[in-house]
Amino acid sequence: MKTTLLLSLVSSFAFAAEPTAADIVAKYDSIMGPGTYEAQTEMTATREDGTSRTYGMKFLKRDTDKFRVWFSEPASVKGQEILRLGDNAWVYLPNLKRATRIANRDSFQGGDFNNADVLRVNYATDYDAVIAPSASPDQLTVELKAKSTETSYDKIRLVVRKSDLQPLKGEYFGTSGQMIRSATFSEHKEFDKGFVRPARIVMQNEVVKARKSEMVTKSFKLNVEAPPQRFMQADLGK
């Protein structure tokens, strides 16, 4: 009787200690899109003809809904900027000296990440999540279903490391149910004191297999100065 009771208590404790789907999604958001940060990043986009192009960028994020990108290379995009403010985003073209609206599902600089993959990491707001079966005992899997048609994907399957909930893999589905992208997250490292995240993300195009894009984080600093005026349309190009 005592043994049965003890096993029951141990089992209940282990179950209670398991993270919920909401816990996993919240952790993902805190890793991939923390409150305020500045990052130096490179993205290499490989096209279906085998050619590739590398973009140098600086990211600045404030709160959950303000994001700005400055492009430094290649020369053809130097001076371009992207601003996200709430549910709206614009790309600033220096040769035209004006900004044009862009959508969440639009391709980010013609690569295989879309704009929301980069500018809007807020899965807890945009998706409902449930625990799904995992292929490995040291991993956890959640399935996310879009709350609206404004999200970048209809469904996402996210695999994280069980020990610390660091992302390992993502599978991204369109409204037809077809998987259109898959991602691998690797080279997890400490960028800021106590802050660990993947330094490399490879987004594979599952429709055109020859295409993929690789995002590499060079530096990442939390709690930087991010003045409100940097997130105003009037500041673009300055």
Tens-place pLDDT, residues 23-82: 999 999 999 999 999 999 999 999 999 999 999 999 999 999 999 999 999 999 999 999
pTM: 0.90
Helix (H) or strand (E) holding 30: helix 21-32
For the stretch 133-188, pLDDT in tens is 999 999 999 999 999 888 889 999 999 999 999 999 999 999 999 999 999 999 99
| pLDDT band for position 2 (cuts 50, 70, 90) | very low
Please give the backbone phi and psi of residue 62, each rounded to the nearest 5 degrees, phi first: -135, 130
Place of tokens 């106590």: 194
In contact, 71 and 93? CB cutoff 8 Å: no
| Cα→Cα distances 9→3, 62, 106, 164, Å | 10, 44, 51, 24
Helix (H) or strand (E) holding 192: strand 179-192
Question: Longest C-alpha distance within the chain, in Å?
Answer: 79
Give the pLDDT confidence score for residue 149 in this predicted structure: 86
Domain 19-235: state its class.
mainly beta
Mean of per-residue pLDDT scores for the chain: 92
For residues 61-88, one letter each, b for 16 or more C-beta atoms within 10 angstroms of the residue's C-beta and e for the rest, the string is bbebebbbbbbeeeeebeebbbbbeeee
Give the pLDDT confidence score for residue 213 in this predicted structure: 98
Q: What is the chain's Cα-based Rg?
A: 20
C-alpha to C-alpha distance for 115 and 107, rounded to whole angstroms:
6
Output DSSP code: residue 230.
Answer: G
